[in-house]
Structure 1
Amino acid sequence: MNYGHRLKFGLRLPTHDGCEPGRPVQWAGMAEQQGLDLLVIPADTTEGSELEPWTVSSWIAATTSSLGLSVEARPTRHPAMLARAVASLDHLTEGRVDLTLPAGPASAGSGPMSPGREARWPADDTGAALSEAIHVVRELWNVLDRGLGRFAGRFYRLAGAQKSAPAHDVPIVVDGQDRNVLRLVGKQADEWSTGGWDIAALAAGNRVIDESAREAGRDPREIRRRVTIRGDFGDRTGIFTGTAADWVTDLLPLVVDHGVGTVVLDTDDRGVAITFATEVAPALRAATEAALPREWSTARVRRSAALARRRPGIDYDGVPAEMAEVVEPGDLAYARLRSGYLRGGAPGIILRAETNEQVAQAVAFARRHPGVPLSRRSAGHGISGRSTNDGGIVIDVSLMNTIEVLDEKTRRVRIGPGARWAEVAAALEPHGWALSSGDYGGVGVGGLATAGGIGYLARGHGLTIDRLRAVEIVLADGSTVKAGDSENSDLFWAVRGAGANFGIVTAFEFEADEVGAVAFAQLTQDASDLERYLVEWGRVVEDSPRDLTSFVIVPPPRAGRPVLALSRTMVDAADRETVLARLEPLAAISPLYAQDVVISSYAAVMNNASDDAPVSHGEPVSRSGLLRHITPQFAAAAASVLRSGAIGWFQLRSVGGAVADIPTDATAYAHRDANFSLVVMGGIDEVVDKAWDRLRPFLDGLYISFESSLRPGRLAEAWPPRTLSRLRELKTVYDPEGVFGDNFALTPATNTPGGRDR
């Protein structure tokens, strides 16, 4: 039978006593140049020389870019060290490695064997020792289950080791024909490698592997089959001799009738290797396509271990085939995609899209799952937006991250929702442009540009949404529309401040601002008289020209330590006199513990994001509010909350200025008269709410990006009555069934069937 694996062709690196250091690299370069898929690096590659095999493997990896590397491991190498070495090499090669574990000599009559296969695993029970080694390796690669790696066996033990996942799901190849080894392959391995090409032995081995796989609850198609062959071109004297066509005749039954998916050539003749790569491989591919049913190799077979992690209520078999990537709970990529930057999650499936059509397909899939949570994600940094969930569907548009200049003259740019603001700033800097965009470069465009966008240039240039000129958006019914001032203007109004309710924006068109060099000041000041500091900071900000925007963080006071205020201030100017004039009033509020003032670019300030995958747990607890002025009464309440220990984060951001120039009813972001935005964070909802109640009397409205609460009254705080009424009317038009209910979900104005609120 055939197991449906796309054919791969490889070359076994020759072994030579006293191997010249450059020889392995030369063979690797030749294999890659001739289009081979794989280079097998034997454990005894450099036998008789002073070169260490894994170092040679790394050297070969550095000199190739597309060639797969199948690295054989010595049984003497501890599997824990092996797991870390393979994971490291896989990252360095961007996912080009598989691991081969030689089990020992084959049984008699199995056909010719490649050299260097006499090594055995510990003791005389090869199957048991090798099985434990595979368990150890998989445990240390298993980052889907959090915590340290642990294993207790007869040959190997892990008392608590740090896990380290490779870049991709590294296949584990087991080489051998002993019956115990074959049964182990069926239970644990991803690929069986045999040095023999005897058809009877191959068929017998397949039967044992398939039976063992089914007993273990696995699909035999999970296991790829590999043969290593030798031969020569010229006179036809036996199998794998003669012409390339003769070789194809010899190989075709192994592929079609016995499921071989990988053919590796063992030779030290470069001419034979080149003919194999350029004549045999393409001819065998064509012959296989002709001999097998159409689309014989297109179906993906997931591991049984991955299938066991699927969540109930999701039609995994009905996932759209058009998606750029589908990530399930059993996939290695799930570990870095399951959570957001501040919110832990365990979704049932993640649909990654990179086109409008794929987004529409993902929305249609979600609509077929009523009652299953749906989350949307650009970069996953949102506090209010549920960019992940438990057991539900996530539509991830982070791959839609292009940044394109449409018109130099009008500074029109088109940006994908998955782009991050640090990338946007870097792309705009060469033009002398910028877009005000929060304070952290890792935030995705999609979330911030539909909520508001309170950034370091807000007082001089407005909110991020104030520079938005048009969007493309996939609606709940799967249609894609463009919205701007001249078309679908009602939808464009709603997108700017409540966009999460109306669809998935797949492209933003902004008119960037002309922004040159800026000054950025980080001041650490004494805030022992906390009430006075807050009032004075607020007064200075309101009295300052619009080219100054300041944020301040006040860490909760700790016994025995001074109370600090950490301000981050941008001045949209570069000349020394202007910068000093703007900053001196802030510095004069209280004594300075530290100061750092630089004149740089906006892009340099925003280049503060980490590329590490998020490892968040639990739910953020945050509260957001808007206020017009920092009065002594508000400052007293804020100081009381800070001293109570109820919160762990307190930040004020200045707004006002250009933000207030936009009419209140021009966008769904309606609280234009606020001069400050407040956000606090803590650990327990009830504790934070009790502290927040002391601040609520001074607040008028909230900023939806920073509010994690699901309390019913938050909708009325987010939008004034007139704005809220209009939004609900539009919800009736664009999403009457409440498909998009993961972020400040609105109830349709009419009692539409399927409408819902959060």
Structure 2
Amino acid sequence: MGDLATAFPADDTSVSHFSTLLSGELVRPSDPSYDRHRRVWNGSIDRRPALIARCAGAADVIESVRFAREHQLLTAVRGGGHSFPGLSVCDDGLVIDLGMMKDIRVDPERRTVRVQAGALLGELDRATQPFGLAVPAGIVTHTGVAGLTLGGGIGWIMRKYGLTIDQLLSVDVVTADGESVTASDDVNTDLFWGVRGGGGNFGIVTEFEFRLNPLGPYVMAGPVFWPIEQATRVLRFYRDWIAECPDEVMTIAVLRRAPDLPAVPPEWVGRHLIGIAACYAGPVDDGAAALAPLKAFGAPILDLCVPKPYVDHQATFDPSFRPGCWYYVRSCDVAGLNDDVIEITAEFGRRIGSSVSSLALWQLGGAVARVGDDETAFNGRGAGHSFNINGNAETAAGFEAEREWARAFWTALAPYHTSVYVNFLMEEGEARVEQAYGSAKYRRLKALKRTYDPGNLFRLNQNIRPD
């Protein structure tokens, strides 16, 4: 069976009937709220769907999938709307918007949490942190739990506790035929394997159940910054230092221009910096000892690595990834930081033009690497670092120059590319999706796609075609 059609053939009667079946809201282009609900986080994306189904629960999702299937509609699924390439909205088709589905239920005795698919990371943290518990998930609070999880889920405490998917106990999924099923280690195990890294290819997850881990509410965390002229020295120190760090230490090296924020000395605003942001997933005193060498290296111009609530640390990068800016990313994993990779990184860090462009160089390893490679669809557990090269702009002005910087940076690293994190892909074609999973997993994922979505209804994603 080929892909479903992209046109919008539904007549007014069928649309009106569909509207009556929803407990939530069906938004049309003529509605006053249409522009607000069609917008996504990436301001460079400007698409106009024919309908937006704002679902109030799983029953609405079922009705929406059945309507899309019956009328062969191009269908986008929106959780937090944080997709870099804007895959959570489409032109002319149907957007199934899960944003109203925010119920979060914590069981502190069992150390589990059930999370509906419209919840954001900040909302999840605020629900779990009063109990001193957390799910390893992301670094920007307005990211959607659903999209982050389905791609794997990297974040501040993953070296201690693993990826977000490594804490996943079960999911409730609406499949392409409009049926609701549960998947876990005990039931529909093939589907459970696939949703742990395979994205939204196999259905719409309406609810997640996670294992919770002890953390906080205070952690030793935050960034330390040096002038960009010291980037090579800092990165060489960083490479040697993290080689001996315990799993509790997670770091991200950041290269950017200093933002105009209250914590930044006015004389440094706009200047190129290198920073190492860290989080210690354990007692604050232990974290202070573990991170002391970082804070003592060289002569930092700004040290924001201090004891703080975990929920505050999770919001550290929120101002750098504001909704509405124009975003473009190139990404790759590398095995390690050899001298050549360090020199390339330092050189391109000095070339950053926009105040919102940046490099985030993620440290991997630890618990991430100790899960068997075949246990989940996620690929790249053996990588040392993940490059997230953001060529961003406040508006369309200058955006193409920032994108070209990101492309050139990525190309310069090409001799050292290994895998790539699927959540950091733009619309880069089938070959890159296959690279994200590796050939063997990609074949297994295609077979799973033929089972659960042979018509490729769910194709506005990093798509695994069923053919």
Q: Tell me the TM-score normalised to structure 2 length.
A: 0.86
Q: Which segment is superposed worse, 624-633 or 708-717?
A: 708-717
Partner of 2:63: 361
Q: Percent identity between the aligned chains? A: 30
Supply the distance in 1 between the matched residues of 2:465 and 2:8 (Cα, whole angstroms).
Answer: 28
Distance 1:537 1:317, change over 3 A: farther
Partner of 2:77: 376
Partner of 2:292: 584
Partner of 2:53: 351
Partner of 2:184: 484
Output one character per residue of 1:529-556: Cα deviation in whole Å (capped at 9) or x when no partner: 3233223223322321111111122016
Contact 1:384–1:743, Cα closer than 8 Å, also in 2: no
Contact 1:641–1:694, Cα closer than 8 Å, also in 2: no
Partner of 1:702: 420
Shift of residue 607 of structure 1?
Answer: 5.0
- Find out whether 1:422 has 2:131 as its counterpart: no
SS of 1:592's equivalent? coil
Partner of 1:642: 349
Supply the distance in 2 between the matched residues of 1:459 and 1:389 (Cα, whole angstroms).
Answer: 36
- Find out whether 1:723 has 2:422 as its counterpart: no
What pairs up with 1:654-665 in 2 under 5 angstroms?
654-665=363-374
Contact 2:434–2:442, Cα closer than 8 Å, also in 1: yes
Output one character per residue of 1:714-734: Cα deviation in whole Å (capped at 9) or x when no partner: 112211111111101101101
Structure 2: tracts of 5 or more residues without a match: 1-6, 260-267, 392-398
Supply the distance in 2 between the matched residues of 1:494 and 1:580 (Cα, whole angstroms).
Answer: 39
Supply the distance in 2 between the matched residues of 1:590 and 1:690 (Cα, whole angstroms).
Answer: 30
Contact 2:42–2:86, Cα closer than 8 Å, also in 1: no
Distance 1:701 1:681, change over 3 A: same
Shift of residue 560 of structure 1?
Answer: 12
Match of 1:679 among 388, 407, 421: 388
Give the counterpart letter for 1:328 in structure 2.
R
Shift of residue 393 of structure 1?
Answer: 1.6
Contact 1:531–1:636, Cα closer than 8 Å, also in 2: yes
SS of 1:529's equivalent? helix
Q: Tell me the TM-score normalised to structure 1 length.
A: 0.54
Partner of 1:554: 255
Distance 1:583 1:699, change over 3 A: same
Shift of residue 610 of structure 1?
Answer: 7.7
SS of 1:523's equivalent? strand
Partner of 1:322: 21
Give the counterpart letter for 2:448 in structure 1.
L
Distance 1:467 1:384, change over 3 A: farther
Match of 1:457 among 157, 162, 166: 157
- Find out whether 1:602 has 2:320 as its counterpart: no
Give the counterpart letter for 2:335 in structure 1.
R
Supply the distance in 2 between the matched residues of 1:742 and 1:732 (Cα, whole angstroms).
Answer: 16
Contact 1:624–1:678, Cα closer than 8 Å, also in 2: yes
What pairs up with 1:136-155 in 2 under 5 angstroms?
none
Match of 1:666 among 354, 370, 375: 375
Contact 2:136–2:156, Cα closer than 8 Å, also in 1: yes
Partner of 1:86: none
Shift of residue 462 of structure 1?
Answer: 0.8
What pairs up with 1:294-305 in 2 under 5 angstroms?
none
- Find out whether 1:693 has 2:401 as its counterpart: no
Shift of residue 568 of structure 1?
Answer: 2.1
Structure 1: tracts of 5 or more residues without a match: 1-310, 752-758
Partner of 1:288: none
Supply the distance in 2 between the matched residues of 1:314 and 1:376 (Cα, whole angstroms).
Answer: 19
Supply the distance in 2 between the matched residues of 1:740 and 1:531 (Cα, whole angstroms).
Answer: 44
Shift of residue 314 of structure 1?
Answer: 5.0
Give the counterpart letter for 1:362 in structure 2.
S
Contact 2:257–2:271, Cα closer than 8 Å, also in 1: no
SS of 2:208's equivalent? strand
Supply the distance in 2 between the matched residues of 1:469 and 1:540 (Cα, whole angstroms).
Answer: 34
Supply the distance in 2 between the matched residues of 1:675 and 1:557 (Cα, whole angstroms).
Answer: 27
Q: Which segment is superposed worse, 555-564 or 665-674?
A: 555-564
Contact 1:448–1:705, Cα closer than 8 Å, also in 2: yes
Shift of residue 609 of structure 1?
Answer: 9.0
Match of 1:570 among 279, 291, 294: 279
- Find out whether 1:413 has 2:109 as its counterpart: no
Shift of residue 449 of structure 1?
Answer: 1.1
Match of 2:234 among 533, 556, 571: 533
What pairs up with 1:180-579 in 2 under 5 angstroms?
313=9, 315-319=11-15, 320=18, 321-323=20-22, 324-343=24-43, 344-345=45-46, 346-370=48-72, 372-384=73-85, 386-405=87-106, 407-516=107-216, 517-555=218-256, 563-576=272-285, 578-579=286-287
Shift of residue 661 of structure 1?
Answer: 1.0
SS of 1:522's equivalent? strand
Supply the distance in 2 between the matched residues of 1:451 and 1:510 (Cα, whole angstroms).
Answer: 15
Shift of residue 608 of structure 1?
Answer: 6.2
Partner of 1:107: none
Contact 1:429–1:601, Cα closer than 8 Å, also in 2: no
SS of 1:625's equivalent? strand
Distance 1:603 1:557, change over 3 A: closer
Q: Which segment is superposed worse, 544-553 or 382-391?
A: 382-391
SS of 1:413's equivalent? strand
SS of 2:198's equivalent? helix
Distance 1:599 1:691, change over 3 A: closer
Partner of 2:451: 733
RMSD: 2.6
Distance 1:631 1:610, change over 3 A: closer
Supply the distance in 1 between the matched residues of 2:435 and 2:457 (Cα, whole angstroms).
Answer: 23
Partner of 1:630: 337
Output one character per residue of 1:384-442: Cα deviation in whole Å (capped at 9) or x when no partner: 5611123322110111110112x433212111011111111111122221111111111
Supply the distance in 1 between the matched residues of 2:63 and 2:464 (Cα, whole angstroms).
Answer: 24
- Find out whether 1:593 has 2:301 as its counterpart: yes
Supply the distance in 1 between the matched residues of 2:225 and 2:443 (Cα, whole angstroms).
Answer: 44
Give the counterpart letter for 2:382 in structure 1.
D
What pairs up with 1:81-92 in 2 under 5 angstroms?
none
Contact 1:434–1:602, Cα closer than 8 Å, also in 2: no
Output one character per residue of 1:131-154: Cα deviation in whole Å (capped at 9) or x when no partner: xxxxxxxxxxxxxxxxxxxxxxxx
Contact 1:538–1:630, Cα closer than 8 Å, also in 2: yes
Larger radius of gyration: 1
Supply the distance in 2 between the matched residues of 1:314 and 1:606 (Cα, whole angstroms).
Answer: 43
Contact 2:228–2:346, Cα closer than 8 Å, also in 1: no
Contact 2:75–2:458, Cα closer than 8 Å, also in 1: yes
